[in-house]
């Protein structure tokens, strides 16, 4: 996420993290997936997110319901359950990469709207579309308390700067498949949207405390950080390439990012980066991983079996 005064938006640079695709460490597989030597050897012989390994991972952490649909704490099934379970089943039919490409496409479409709005305002003196996007795709206290609560979500699809959307979509392309491959399409979509809302609320709270009513935030980085922290909580010893160059365990990368954004929120409030929103995304991803590993929020609250 980035932040700017509503009166003048400025593009900023943004960090990107590339997720390698190494084989899962044998200790992680032995402790998390199975004690069977033959199954372990089979998993180690394939890519981490190949179709077979992905299915084994997902079925271990996220068991399927009747009829082949995902059943993450609900009563999914073919034709059964409530409307939400049926909707979730339909979303789970969508291949995970198709969903990731769809999210990238929506972000790209909103970016093109911003460019057209800026062009119309500058060339034709028609600010109508620009004002509409300001009111409906920028997160700030004025918009939310004016009743436009949907900006908690729409701001996670909004980018004005070409550099901003390029780096964020690059992050989506490399990081989102890791989380989506583990969770399935419906749970991943819930992670993206939920992280967008939670990071928005974190940003709103931060700016309200600082009395910055007119500072606006936009961008998908809160959701992207949630994908990274979710995967990192599931496989903390996996390796990522920081800045596409420096290899390190994912838990080290997440800790470093969290520390940097925490420092930025305290001592660099006018840097142009919404550090509070980043922190909210990281926390949401870690919380989602904790809940999923324990069988879902409801099961966790009821004291169900823990991994």
Q: Are 243 and 15 in contact (CB under 8 A)?
A: yes
d(CA 299, CA 288): 13
Average pLDDT over residues 236-264: 84
Kindly tell me if the per-residue pLDDT of 35 is higher than 50: no
Residue 192 pLDDT level (bands cut at 50, 70, 90): very high
Residue 8 pLDDT level (bands cut at 50, 70, 90): very low
Looking at every residue in the chain, the average pLDDT score rounds to: 74
Q: What pLDDT is recorded for position 81?
A: 65
Which stretches of 45-127 are DSSP H helices?
Answer: 51-61, 83-92, 96-123
Question: Which residues, 6+ apart, have CB-to-CB distance to 133 below 8 Å?
Answer: 110, 113, 114, 117, 158
Q: Is the dihedral of CA 248, 251, 252, 254 positive or negative?
A: positive
Phi and psi at residue 240, in whole multiples of 5°? -120, 160
Query: 70-92 as b/e, with b when 16 or more CB fall inside 10 Å?
Result: bbbbbebbeeebeeebbebbebb
Give the pLDDT confidence of 278-292 residue by residue, as tens digits. Answer: 999 999 999 998 887
Highest mean pLDDT: which range of 6-20, 150-164, 262-276: 150-164
Give the pLDDT confidence of 40-60 residue by residue, as tens digits. Answer: 343 333 333 333 344 444 544
The per-residue DSSP string of 197-245 comes to HHHHHHHHHHHHHTT-TTEEEE-SHHHHHHHHHHHHHHSTT-EEEETTT
Average pLDDT over residues 15-43: 37
The CATH label, of 3.30.365.10, 1.20.1540.10, 3.40.50.1820, 1.10.10.10, for the domain at 2-301 is 1.20.1540.10
d(CA 170, CA 175): 8
First-to-final CA distance of the chain: 33
d(CA 54, CA 178): 9
Query: 127 by DSSP, 3-state: which?
Result: coil
């Amino acid at each position: 996420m980035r932040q700017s005064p509503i009166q003048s938006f400025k593009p900023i640079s943004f960090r990107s993290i590339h997720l390698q695709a190494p084989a899962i460490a044998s200790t992680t597989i032995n402790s998390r997936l199975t004690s069977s030597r033959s199954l372990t050897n089979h998993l180690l012989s394939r890519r981490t997110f190949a179709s077979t390994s992905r299915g084994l991972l997902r079925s271990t952490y996220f068991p399927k319901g009747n009829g082949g649909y995902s059943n993450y704490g609900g009563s999914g099934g073919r034709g059964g359950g409530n409307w939400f379970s049926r909707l979730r089943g339909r979303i789970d039919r969508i291949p995970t990469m198709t969903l990731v490409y769809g999210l990238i496409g929506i972000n790209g479409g909103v970016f093109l709207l911003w460019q057209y709005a800026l062009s119309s305002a500058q060339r034709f003196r028609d600010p109508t579309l620009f004002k509409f996007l300001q009111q409906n795709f920028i997160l700030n206290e004025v918009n939310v308390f004016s009743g436009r609560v949907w900006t908690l979500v729409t701001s996670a699809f909004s980018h004005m700067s070409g550099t901003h959307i390029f780096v964020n979509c690059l992050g989506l392309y490399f990081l989102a498949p890791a989380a989506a491959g583990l969770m399935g399409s419906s749970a991943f979509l819930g992670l993206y949207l939920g992280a967008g809302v939670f990071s928005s609320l974190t940003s709103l709270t931060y700016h309200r405390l600082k009395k910055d009513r007119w500072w606006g935030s936009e961008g998908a980085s809160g959701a992207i950080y949630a994908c990274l922290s979710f995967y990192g909580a599931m496989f903390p010893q996996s390796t990522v390439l920081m800045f596409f160059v420096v290899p390190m365990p994912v838990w080290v990368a997440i800790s470093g990012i969290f520390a940097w954004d925490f420092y930025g929120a305290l001592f660099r409030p006018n840097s142009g980066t919404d550090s509070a929103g980043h922190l909210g995304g990281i926390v949401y991803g870690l919380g989602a991983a904790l809940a999923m590993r324990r069988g879902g929020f409801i099961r966790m609250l009821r004291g169900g079996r823990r991994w």
